[in-house]
Homo-oligomer: A and B are copies of this chain.
Amino acid sequence: MSINAILSRVDADFPKSLDRLFDFLRIPSISADPSHKDDCVRAAEWLVRELTALGFDASLRPTPLHPMVIGHYTKAGPDKPHVLFYAHYDVQPADPLELWDSPPFEPVVKTFPDGSERILARGAQDDKGQLMTFLEACRALIAETGKLPVNVTFFSEGEEESGSPSMIPFLEANKAELSADVALVCDTEMWDRKTPAITTMLRGLVGEEISLRCASHDLHSGAFGGAALNPLQVLTKILGDLHDDKGRVTVPGFYDGVADISPTLRANWDNLGFDAAAFLGGAGLKTPAGEADRTVLEQIWSRPTCEINGLAGGYAGPGFKTVLPASAEAKVSFRLVAGQDPQKIRAAFRQYVRDRLPPDAKVEFREHGGSPAVHVAIDGAAVGKARAALEAEWGKAPALVGSGGSIPVVGNFKSILGLDSLMIGFGLDDDRIHSPNEKYEVTSYHGGIRSWVRVLDALAS
């Protein structure tokens, strides 16, 4: 069977693929809004029906919040690889509605002045459009060849935009059922409109909240100023010393185990044509602020960071109060890379703070999440096959990109299921996900379907 026949079927069937996506998009499966709980169930049931029609053994699996959808496809045969596909069916709230050019749950395709055709709807990209690239690829493969080339466990959650509270217990309770050779995760972006991407690095995260307390109550700075310990002074001193003058984090042991990226990856990044000035310029900035001897891509993808995310203490309202406050608080987070253990980093940070506390200052810490970085080995077999497949489709080798943020489920797949993830997605950075007028380019949807046909075909060999 020629791959071209399957791709031709994708092309011929594309108007119907659009119709099916539209059906899916019309269900307002907003996971964060309790009034849309039934819509989340409707979206899950819609998926179960579609999967069943394609020959999957599909079911809706209740959780304390929104149901999971699992569909098993084993007709490729026991000699074929087994992939776990993941995408989420829930969407972000659509507020503020008045900023949408068309209603968020009435999808349309619009042609823009630059000639691009865009699917406009909440979830068009994140993540219903992306999810449907895979489902439609499966449909074309089955229609044209009678079966999928690999065994597939389709796995979709409806809580991703609400912090995935059910994910970890669900994975732990269903380890055996979800076993596979590799996970395919479709929730990321292309490098640009013409260049596909495989995301191979996600930074981890450690969040810490610090509460400092000095005096037993707020004091007047006239009466006590100069003699009484000021927690705002203690806090700014401790936090202000977290970086040295080269932008490196000063917490002892912070860089232990952190390695430079491989020459292969560096060469790939060097070829990306990343425009650091445009990237920073989009945020109104001109000068990279991180480690002085690192490129911007390294700073956001492969280097760990420490960021102060919040400060509060004393009087910050209108006017002025000469208060010498009893306490002060900060939220601090660390983005981690491979080789860094979240709990070790947390402990090292707490020790760093304690080592700097003057007499009379007491500190309390509160933990806010900790997840390790995810690095996918770019020389693995599955990555190699996916790279070739994507290059065949787009005419350009895929960018091997990092992501400064984390995708928790990828870490969960690794730690609970023991699965590496191939992160392939077809979003663009101007898709306005989470914002009004979310869109998915028709080329992303169409190219995404074709890409999965090629990737699944490649993985089978």
Contact = CB atoms under 8 A, between A and B. Distances in A.
How many of chain A's residues touch chain B, expressed as a range? 35 or more
Nearest to A321: B309
A257 B225 CA distance: 20
A63 B14 CA distance: 80
A192 interface: no
B311 A323 contact: no
Interface string A282-311: 011111111100001001100111011111
Copies in the complex: 2
A173 interface: no
Given A226-B404, A359-B287, A322 B299 contact: no
Contacts of A37: none
A4 interface: no
A242 interface: yes
Interface in A203-223: 203, 205, 207, 209, 214-217, 219-223
A369 interface: yes
A320 B316 contact: no
A288 B404 contact: no
B404 A222 contact: yes
A309 B219 contact: no
A103 interface: no
Contacts of A92: none
A313 interface: yes
B242 A239 contact: no
Contacts of A220: 405
A403 interface: yes
A299 B276 CA distance: 50
Contact of A311 (B236, B237, B403): B236
A138 to B, nearest CB: 31
A238 interface: yes
A360 interface: yes
A290 B225 CA distance: 8
A278 interface: no
